[in-house]
Amino acid sequence: MTNVISISETTDVVIIGGGVIGLAIARALALRGVRDINLFETARLGTEASFAAAGMLAPQVEADTQDDFFTLACRSRDMYPSFAEELREETGIDIELDTTGTLYLAFTDQDRKEIERRYEWQSRAGLAVELLSDADARELEPSIAPALGALRFPNDVQVENRRLLAALTNSIVKRGVITVTQTTVQSLIMEGNRLTGVQTSRGPISCNTAVVAAGTWSSFIQHSNIMVEPVRGQIVFLESMPQLARHVVFSPRCYIVPRRDGRLLAGSTNERVEFDKSVTAGGISSILQHAQEISLEISSLPVTDTWAGLRPRTPDGLPVLGPCGEIEGLFYATGHYRNGILLAPLTGELISEAIVDGVVSPLLAPFSPDRF
Ligand SMILES: Cc1cc2nc3c(=O)[nH]c(=O)nc-3n(C[C@H](O)[C@H](O)[C@H](O)COP(=O)(O)OP(=O)(O)OC[C@H]3O[C@@H](n4cnc5c(N)ncnc54)[C@H](O)[C@@H]3O)c2cc1C
């Protein structure tokens, strides 16, 4: 990771936060020809929620309605094949986009009703979804436990998010973005209602444009008026060689994500514990208990690591995307909650378009910072 010691005192665009969102925006801006970008990161690039994530690109699997968020999420998911290919060509890093698909299993009568409802609305809407019997599901994945039926979502896929972070970092450094790590943006500097710079822990820097992409810490930047709270998610890494499943497999209580290198991720929890990133006995035991409902074979796999990260959640659970109506030159791209990996390509695309062309896509309107 790059750590540039001296910072320029003036820049065109400041990006606050070096998670998947800040990195994707920096790359998209560079692709649109912005030459002078400084990205500030409190710690090291890509080490917080984006590193902790499971990498699922799965808008359909838990969706009960075709709302604005669903549209946004599907659009971003569908950008991944070209996004992955471009990153591979640019950086030589394969982000391991795995297009096997996702299974959602029903184990109780209530689960069964849920999958029937979901199948009905999604198939009526013309979305790719298959209703499977237990036998069909186990033909696809022989290691899963007997279920009361399943849904298969062929377009809900997964990516190796840690490789994605490495590829984005490599790409922006190649494109001349200045990354300033171990440096916190403390406040926004304004003249009237116009942004003129930011105050960092290494001193002030002038800029006309800044993007708040600081994940769950976005509310700590002085004069930034967005409320984002942390929601802890824990993950258990198991070793599974040969891999226990090819699909990402969900139940209403848990998911397992098979990785190419033999890691099997099981997650997760949803806990409001402020900024505590501890892995707890209760968290791990509940994940493992629910994972064994998906496959009893989980019980004999070695646990190789455990992890926790803080998902950034806004009061209405939706991301905050676009220009700030009150402060000219300020943009928000935060609050991605459970879907920041999924939403990264489209967030980069639409925020960079808003900054460079001054065009705010209608897709962003429902997620405007001015809604609060
Ligand atoms: C267990 C778990 C599983 C998940 N699974 C998935 C999944 O399968 N699919 C999916 O799409 N999403 C998933 N997510 C959600 C996803 O990880 C987040 O939505 C996403 O990572 C948010 O990205 P971000 O860049 O906004 O935040 P982060 O990755 O947290 O990055 C924010 C960065 O900003 C820095 N920062 C903060 N304040 C400042 C400041 N003032 N100055 C400078 N830098 C600052 C931080 O140090 C941090 O590096 C999961 C999350 C967790 C925890």
3-class SS at 223? coil
Our CA dihedral for 205, 207, 213, 217, rounded to 10 degrees, sits at 40
pLDDT tens readout for residues 273-330: 999 999 999 999 999 999 999 999 999 999 999 999 999 999 999 999 999 999 999 9
Tally of CA atoms within 13 A in the half-sphere of 139 that contains its CB: 7
321 CA to middle of ligand 1, Å?
15
Q: Is the CB of 217 under 6 A from ligand 1?
A: yes
pLDDT band of 10, cuts 50, 70, 90: confident
Determine the Cα–Cα distance for residues 133 and 119; give it in Å rounded to an integer.
13
Q: Which residue has the higher pLDDT, 225 or 133?
A: 133
CB 221 less than 6 A from any atom of ligand 1? yes
Which amino acid is located at 118 in the chain? R
In this prediction, residue 9 has a pLDDT band, given cuts at 50, 70 and 90, of confident
Residue 1 clears pLDDT 90, i.e. is over it: no
- With contact defined as beta carbons under 8 Å apart, do 55 and 62 qualify? no
Average pLDDT over the chain, rounded to an integer:
96
Which of 1, 4, 20, 277 has most ligand 1 atoms within 8 Å of CB, for mutation? 20
Please state the atom number of ligand 1 nearest to the C-alpha of residue 235. Answer: 1
Cα of 234 vs centre of ligand 1, distance in Å, is 14
Residues 6+ apart with CB under 8 A from 357: none
Is the whole-model pTM more than 0.95?
Answer: yes
In the structure encoding, which two tokens stand for residue 44, read together?
């090291």
Query: 287 and 268 in contact (C-beta within 8 Å)?
Result: yes
Query: What is the 3 state secondary structure string of 137-160?
Result: HHHHCCCCCCCCCEEEECCCEECC
For residue 348 and ligand 1, the question of a CB distance below 6 A is answered with no
CB 332 within 8 A of CB 351: no
CB 167 within 8 A of CB 93: yes
pLDDT band at 11 (very low <50, low <70, confident <90, very high): confident
Closest atom, ligand 1, to C-alpha of 158: 8
For residue 271, pLDDT beyond 60: yes
User: Crossing angle for the helix pair 161-174 and 340-357, nearest 10 degrees?
Assistant: 20
Ligand 1 atom nearest to 267, measured from its CA: 1
Which ligand 1 atom lies nearest to the CA of residue 339?
11
> 336: CA distance to ligand 1 center in Å?
8
- pLDDT tens for each residue of 201-242: 999 999 999 999 999 999 999 988 899 999 999 999 999 999
Residue-wise pLDDT for 162-210, tens only, equals 999 999 999 999 999 999 999 999 999 999 999 999 999 999 999 999 9
Do residues 333 and 370 make contact, with C-beta atoms less than 8 angstroms apart? no
Mutate to test the pocket of ligand 1, among 45, 339, 351 (most ligand atoms within 8 A of CB): 339
